[in-house]
Chain A
Amino acid sequence: MNIISGLIQNYFYFASIVIFLIGTHVMLTHSNLIKKIMGMNIMETGIFLFVVSIGYIRGGSAPIVPIDGRGVRFINPLPSALILTGIVVGVSLTAFALSLVIELYKYYGTTDSDEIMEMRRRER
């Protein structure tokens, strides 16, 4: 019972873990390289959601002191900063992976890793 109520109260953690697992599953089981990259992105999104939800306070705002000095509840910027960096890293990883897929397609004429393995086996 404890676990279920914990899951429902922290539904965002639950959701992010589900997304993470979907992404990892897609990444590891699908043979299409483009789908693998999509899975990589989905997995990262799950993690990003998790980290951002750790730092979020309901009704809080970005931690910049307003000019008129009103007291506001601030959100911890550190997880968001980490995730901003993570997103940038994710974009560069995706771009790099896509360019590798383009190169692979030039050599093998397919984006399916099973077919590539098959071709390599035949070559030997």
Chain B
Amino acid sequence: MDDLVLQTITRILMPFIQVYGIFVIVNGHLSPGGGFAGGTILGASVILYALTFNVGAAEDLYPDDLAEAVESSSVLIFVLVGLFAILMGANFLTNIGIFPSPETGTLFTGGFVTPLTLAIGVKVASTVITLFTHLFGEKKP
């Protein structure tokens, strides 16, 4: 698809969509939202890019190798954060007392919730993009 209007509007819209996605992710513990919702919004911006330019361009923007590494490592981060609590002598995924949690209303109020939400967000965004490019490009999964 080669349409100047669409491409220009996509160029303008993409940063806004991505900033909104990041906002939803990092605000996950303070307001409704979080990794799943924010990650999908982030992924949707790249899908928009793929639709208006072409799927190959999106694959160049976000190659498969990177996707594999990102998806694996974000799950590993989640598990390792959980295991870290065991190392400190508490139960799996213990938050209070292990991770610092400053006063209400700041970014890291939730202790490990913000980093974990970030990991989920990145993972979901990556998965949405790879699902789209693989199904659209009909590559072998």
Evaluate contact between B138 and A102: CB separation under 8 angstroms: yes
Out of B36, B104, B134, B141, name the residue touching A67 (CB < 8 Å).
B104
Q: Which of B30, B31, B131 counts the most chain A CB atoms within 10 A?
A: B131
Interface size class of B (residues with CB under 8 A): 10 to 19
CB closest residue in chain B, given A67: B105
Closest beta carbon of chain A to B25's beta carbon, Å: 14
Count residues of chain A with CB under 8 A from any CB of chain B: 10
Evaluate contact between B135 and A98: CB separation under 8 angstroms: yes
Evaluate contact between B36 and A88: CB separation under 8 angstroms: yes
Cα separation A67 to B36 with both chains bound (whole Å):
24
Q: Is A64 an interface residue (CB 8 A)?
A: yes
Q: Which residues of B contact A15 (CB under 8 A)?
A: none
Interface residues of A in 16-50 (CB under 8 A from B): none
Pull 9 A–B residue pairs with CB atoms less than 8 Å apart, ordered by A: A62-B31, A64-B31, A67-B104, A88-B36, A88-B124, A95-B131, A98-B135, A99-B134, A99-B141
Q: Identify the 7 closest CB pairs spanning chains A and B, nearest first.
A: A62-B32, A95-B131, A99-B141, A67-B105, A98-B135, A102-B138, A84-B36
